[in-house]
């Protein structure tokens, strides 16, 4: 094992260099081209990773641009490492070029450094060290390079049509110590339509409500455009001032003749942790619900919303407040609203407990919305992931993690988010983020520290040895 450690330490400069080279490839999904189902940038990253693996002496395969893999060892069983080379858009506000892979203060900055290119390179060098150490293993080890994790996982759908699922393995696409359970994830819409002009309040009419960007993000902006006579605008202004004073919510009003725009500002957060944010849609609808003399059309929907959802994020009042001892409470996030004089469409992201089912969630909500005329439309349902803590995979990974970090009290965890492990059976997320560290994936100024890049390479090297040598 000492030889393995020495080899990984000797790779330090090359490990850094290859991570930088891969990060410099802008691997965003683009228009498909022949042999490049997700565009040129993603394909360039795949070809680079496969070429690097070949230089290390591994046998490689390119599955028509959908995915690729590199392999070592022999045996009937296969240990898999599942990593992805595609990235999310860089966004704005970076201190350093998002595809520059510059090093500052011991950190490599760039889109994909943490999610997932740095960890993929670390796993590849861990395989190289294990191969060159000549430590005895009795299983094959295969690193799978995915290309569509961020926008649909069609890469793994294709892979599994061509290749077998590894017997077990990990993805460096989550958190340490080990994620042994992930909640089920649903995205659905609450839709209600009514005839145009069916907004029969005495004076104030809601022309539109727009807010949010994606179902799995807590919205930090929402606005409503209202039309009202002058006397109602004065009343509306006083009501808003009173509401803000009472709640502390950040709402403001802009007047343009008979049109009024109410702007709601919240705090953005990931949909798996809505308690860390503040929902701009919910606080705006709570205010609009204060217009007690208004009814019909969208006002009836708003009343339902404030009665069954409001600022809750565990689904208690809308019939899906499920909970279990393994993964905790259901998580309910309202992410997007689109409403006008004819309809309202609210998109919701739910993370339901491991022991529950998507059917349970839909049945509970449907019952709560009975007789409201609101249509519940399911867009997607990703079932929970669960590998028992007693499983050899979990026990082996935890053993290595505790030894390598000195954290003897570390225990495996469950999460409300989703990792690449969902794409295959018997795969769990294992790093790269250490407990208590800043999460920079998908954020501006994403980075991985060089110290951690080397550290996870050691962890992955020893984990692969334990998994590939256990009888």
Q: Which residues are catalytic?
A: 86, 149
- CA 440/CA 111 separation, integer angstroms: 9
Residues 265-303 as b/e (b if ≥16 CB within 10 A, e otherwise) read bbebbbbbbbeebbbbbbbbbbbbbebeebeebbbbbbb
Shortest CA distance to 120 belongs to which of 56, 181, 53?
53
DSSP state letters, 222-269 = EEEEEE--HHHHHHHHHHHHHHHHHH--EEEEEEETTEEEEEEE-B-E
| Contact predicate 87/151, CB 8 Å | no
Does the CA dihedral 136-67-54-10 come out positive or negative? negative
Shortest CA distance to 109 belongs to which of 93, 120, 97, 117?
97
Q: Residue 62 pairs with which residues in a beta bridge?
A: 68
Shortest CA distance to 357 belongs to which of 332, 319, 383?
383
Q: Rounded to the nearest 10 degrees, how much is the dihedral formed by the CA atoms of 362, 353, 176, 97?
A: 20
- CA 326/CA 103 separation, integer angstroms: 40
- CA 40/CA 27 separation, integer angstroms: 8
In this structure, the strands spanning 107-109 and 59-63 are unpaired
Indicate the helix (H) or strand (E) that contains 162: helix 154-162
Collapsing DSSP to helix, strand or coil, 66 comes out as coil
């Amino acid at each position: 094992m000492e030889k393995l450690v020495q080899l990984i330490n000797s790779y330090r400069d090359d490990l850094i260099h290859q991570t930088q080279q891969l990060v410099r490839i802008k691997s965003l999904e683009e228009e498909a081209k022949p042999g490049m189902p997700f565009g040129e940038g993603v394909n360039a990253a795949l070809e680079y990773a496969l070429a690097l693996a070949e230089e290390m002496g591994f046998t490689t395969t390119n599955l028509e641009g959908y995915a690729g893999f590199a392999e070592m060892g022999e045996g009937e069983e296969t240990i898999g490492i599942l990593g992805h080379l595609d990235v999310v858009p860089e966004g704005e506000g970076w201190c350093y070029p998002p595809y520059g892979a510059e090093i500052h203060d011991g950190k490599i900055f760039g889109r994909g450094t943490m999610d997932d290119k740095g960890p993929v390179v670390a796993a590849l060098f861990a395989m190289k060290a294990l191969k060159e150490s000549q430590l005895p293993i009795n299983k094959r080890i295969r690193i799978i390079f995915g290309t569509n994790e961020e926008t649909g996982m069609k890469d793994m759908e294709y892979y599994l049509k061509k290749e077998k699922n590894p017997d077990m393995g990990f993805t460096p696409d989550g958190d340490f110590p080990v994620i042994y359970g992930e909640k089920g994830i649903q995205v659905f819409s609450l839709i209600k339509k009514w005839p145009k002009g069916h907004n029969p309040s005495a004076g104030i009419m809601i022309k539109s409500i727009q807010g949010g960007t994606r179902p799995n993000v807590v919205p930090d902006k929402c606005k409503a455009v209202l039309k009202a006579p002058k006397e109602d605008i004065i009343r509306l202004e006083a009501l808003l001032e009173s509401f803000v004073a009472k709640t502390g919510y950040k709402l403001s009003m802009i007047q343009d003749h008979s049109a009024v725009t109410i702007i709601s500002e919240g705090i953005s957060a990931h949909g798996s942790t809505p308690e860390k944010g503040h929902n701009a849609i919910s606080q705006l609808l709570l205010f609009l619900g204060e217009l007690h003399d208004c009814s019909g059309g969208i006002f009836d929907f708003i009343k339902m919303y404030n009665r069954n959802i409001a600022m809750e994020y565990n689904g208690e009042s809308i019939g899906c407040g499920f909970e279990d001892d393994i993964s905790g409470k259901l998580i309910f996030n309202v992410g997007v609203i689109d409403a006008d004089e004819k309809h309202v469409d609210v998109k919701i992201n739910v993370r339901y407990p491991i022991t529950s089912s998507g059917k349970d969630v839909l049945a509970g909500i449907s019952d709560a919305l009975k007789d409201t005329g609101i249509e519940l439309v399911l867009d997607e349902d990703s079932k929970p992931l669960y590998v028992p803590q007693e499983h050899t995979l979990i026990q082996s990974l935890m053993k290595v993690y505790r030894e390598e970090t000195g954290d003897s009290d570390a225990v495996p965890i469950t999460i409300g988010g989703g990792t690449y492990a969902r794409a295959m059976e018997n795969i769990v997320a294992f790093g790269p983020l250490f407990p208590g560290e800043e999460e920079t994936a998908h954020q501006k100024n994403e980075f991985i520290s060089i110290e951690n890049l080397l550290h996870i390479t050691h962890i992955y090297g020893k984990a692969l040895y334990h998994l590939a040598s256990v009888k």
